């Protein structure tokens, strides 16, 4: 009888702690509506057109390369090689995911572009993948002519815009499409919206570690999992560049040497590579890097990076949490039929 009573008490205690967990207000973690520039409101026609353009190799010099060729759905919207290969050969940086990039207040690892529209490189005066010689190497005027010569594209542009095929509208359609690549259906988002079963116990423990002992939250802040700022976290320099000074090249501020934009971690468990130069290829390596305190010999490393003393179970719990950030829909985006 005594034992039964004890058992009941334990059940009650477990129940009580469960309700406290459920009662925790997680609304800070809900992904907000995507910011949209006033001059580029979305429409179904525009998004469908952007989806096609993002998968169309005719936006590149020799019809050889599309946005999605480097930002692969199957690898979480990021590159499938450690550094991207463009028209000019191997670039110095890994292609980061374009999933959730719509929330970023600046684009690229060093933040040198201000918006998704600018980032495409289709706008006059802006260098980006479509125009960059090392990437798709496009002559944007020639790309416009090429698309104009395709009747179905003409029709699709007229449906989406008043003024048909222009460089601005190429940029706008692709950006409108990118604004749909949001990890709303990740288990973690379902969890913060009230589905307490969406996370495994391991992922819940990982979420606790993420917010406390593992210090991840210092930079991967709620709700976007990025502070939209730049930090040097002591990533080893690999690839064709001798040194990548990162944000420093934009600001010329010594504190920015080797600092890169904090990436949003959504869908990162599907990445084939990690970090600005693709230095790591598994999440285990990423966590091990943080656990050892990054690179203590790196004079410019952020003071927030320090040894974490996570044991093996804690590391695997943290990885379970990272996996809960994956929206499977984003990893299964198809190549649309092209005109
Ligand atoms: C040759 C491979 C390649 C192609 C093609 C390519 N990208 Fe990228 N993309 C990259 C690399 C590499 C970076 C990072 C470059 C840097 O930070 O300097 C990047 C960065 C980005 C970013 C910034 C993400 C962020 O969080 O800062 C976005 C968005 C993006 N690309 C979208 C596109 C779009 C849209 C296209 C097609 C118009 C495209 N990319 C074509 C390799 C590519
Ligand atoms: C001091 C700020 C800071 C802290 C603390 C921090 N990160 Fe990061 N994280 C960054 C920055 C900046 C990058 C990109 C660095 C680079 O490419 O050189 C990054 C990259 C990553 C990446 C690779 C994503 C990609 O797109 O390549 C993962 C995964 C990651 N962090 C997870 C974590 C986890 C898990 C923790 C806690 C253990 C953590 N981070 C703690 C700032 C931070």
In tens, the pLDDT along 59-118 reads 999 899 999 999 999 999 999 999 999 988 899 999 999 999 999 999 999 999 999 999
Q: Is 48 exposed, middle or buried (0-12, 13-18, 19+ CB in 10 A)?
A: middle
Q: Is 238 exposed, middle or buried (0-12, 13-18, 19+ CB in 10 A)?
A: middle
CA–centroid distance, 319 to ligand 2, in Å, is 13
CA–centroid distance, 244 to ligand 2, in Å, is 17
pLDDT of the residue at 125 = 85
Ligand that comes closest to the CA of residue 261: 2
Ligand that comes closest to the CA of residue 275: 2
- Cα 141 vs. chain centroid, distance in angstroms? 30
CA–centroid distance, 96 to ligand 1, in Å, is 7
In this structure, the residue with its CA closest to atom 5 of ligand 1 is: 67
Pocket of ligand 1 (CB under 6 A): 54, 65, 67, 69-71, 84, 86, 91, 93, 95-96, 98, 101, 104, 107-109, 116, 119-120, 129-130, 135-136, 174
State pLDDT tens for residues 300-329. Answer: 999 999 999 999 999 999 999 999 999 999
CA distance 65 to 53: 11
């Amino acid at each position: 009888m005594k034992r039964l009573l004890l058992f009941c008490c334990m059940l009650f205690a477990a129940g009580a702690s469960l309700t406290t967990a459920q009662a925790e207000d997680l609304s800070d973690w809900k992904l907000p509506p995507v910011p949209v520039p006033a001059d580029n409101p979305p429409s179904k026609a525009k998004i469908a057109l952007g989806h096609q353009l993002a998968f169309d190799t005719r936006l590149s010099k020799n019809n050889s390369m599309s946005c999605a060729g480097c930002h692969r759905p199957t690898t979480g919207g990021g590159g499938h090689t450690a550094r991207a290969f463009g028209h000019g050969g191997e670039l110095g940086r890994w292609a980061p995911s374009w999933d959730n990039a719509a929330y970023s207040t600046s684009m690229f690892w060093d933040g040198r572009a201000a918006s998704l529209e600018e980032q495409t490189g289709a706008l006059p005066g802006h260098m980006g993948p479509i125009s960059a010689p090392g990437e798709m190497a496009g002559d944007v005027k020639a790309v416009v002519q090429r698309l104009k010569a395709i009747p179905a594209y003409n029709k699709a542009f007229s449906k989406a815009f008043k003024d048909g095929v222009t460089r601005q509208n190429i940029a706008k359609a692709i950006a409108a499409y990118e604004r749909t690549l949001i990890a709303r259906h990740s288990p973690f988002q379902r969890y913060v919206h009230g589905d307490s079963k969406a996370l495994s116990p391991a992922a819940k423990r990982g979420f606790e570690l993420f917010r406390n002992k593992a210090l991840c939250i210092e930079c991967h802040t709620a709700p976007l999992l990025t502070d939209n700022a730049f930090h040097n976290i002591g990533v080893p320099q690999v690839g064709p560049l001798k040194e990548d000074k990162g944000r420093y090249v934009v600001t010329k501020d010594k504190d920015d040497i080797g600092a890169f934009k904090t990436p949003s971690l959504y869908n990162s468990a599907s990445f084939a590579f990690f970090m600005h130069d693709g230095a790591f290829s598994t999440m285990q390596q990423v966590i091990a890097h943080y656990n050892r305190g990054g690179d203590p010999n790196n004079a410019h490393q952020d003071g927030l990076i320090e040894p974490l003393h996570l044991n093996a179970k804690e590391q695997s719990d943290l990885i379970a949490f990272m996996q809960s950030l994956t929206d499977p829909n984003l990893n299964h985006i198809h190549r649309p039929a092209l005109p």
